Homo-oligomer: A and B are copies of this chain.
Amino acid sequence: METSKAIYKRRSVRKYTNEKVSEEELHKLIASGMMAPSAGNRQPWHFITVTDPKLLSQVAQVNPNAGMASRAPAGILVCGDTELEMHPGYWVQDCSAAVQNILLAAHDTGLGAVWTGIWPKTDRVEGFKELFGLPETVHPLAFLVIGRPDKDSTEQDSPDRFLKERIRGEHW
C-alpha cells in the first residue's frame, strides 16, 4: 500500500485470528526494521522471534501490559546492544526507529501488531533478560505482539492525531 496510507491507517492491533505467522514472515518484518537509520549507522540491534505458545504466555506474565501475547501466534523481542554502539545512549532511538519500520511493514502486509514497552522499567527489563537469557550488554527494548487482525480490530479507523498546538515556528 501507499506509504502515507500505512502511516495513517496503522493502528495497534491487540486481537488476532488463530492463523499462524511464519518465521519467514517475521524475518521479512525484521528486515524492514534493519533498514532504519541508526547513530553512526552502527545498527546496534538484535531480534528474537517467538512463536512458541508457552513462551508467548510467559511474555504475558513478565509484562502486565502484554496480556494479548498469550492469545497471539507470534511476537518479536527487540533488543539493543550497548557493545555495538559508537555513540553511547543512542540505542534506544535506533531500536525505536526499527520498531516503527516493523509496525508499518506489518500493517502493509496485512498483519497486525502492537508495541508493548519494556525499557526502561527495571522489573520488565529483568524479567525479559531472564526469560530470554540475554547477555549483560543486550537490553530488551520492546516486545512486538503480532498476528492477523481479527474482524473487531480492523473495523475501527485510526483517529487523526494531528495537534496544531504542538507545532511552533523558529522558537518555542
A→B interface (CB under 8 Å) = 1-8, 10, 12, 23, 27, 30-32, 34-37, 39, 43, 45-52, 55, 87, 89-90, 92-93, 96-97, 99-101, 103-105, 107-108, 115, 117, 119-121, 132-135, 138, 141-142, 158, 160-163, 166-172
7 tightest Cβ-Cβ pairs between the two chains A and B? A96-B96, A100-B100, A3-B108, A3-B6, A97-B100, A93-B96, A89-B120
- Pair B163/A132 contact, Cβ less than 8 Å: no
**C-alpha gap A50/B168 in the complex (Å):** 9
Indicate whether A7 sits within 8 Å of B30 (C-beta atoms), given known contacts A97-B99, A117-B39, A117-B90. Answer: no
**C-alpha gap A27/B142 in the complex (Å):** 29
Q: From B30, B99, B108, B120, give the contact of A167 (CB < 8 A).
A: B30
**C-alpha gap A100/B37 in the complex (Å):** 8
- Pair A172/B92 contact, Cβ less than 8 Å: no
Q: Which residues of B contact A50 (CB under 8 A)?
A: 169-170
- Pair B170/A52 contact, Cβ less than 8 Å: yes
Q: Which residues of B contact A36 (CB under 8 A)?
A: 100
Q: What's the minimum C-beta distance from A50 to chain B, rounded to whole angstroms? A: 6
Q: Which residues of B contact A47 (CB under 8 A)?
A: 166-168
Q: Which residues of B contact A45 (CB under 8 A)?
A: 166
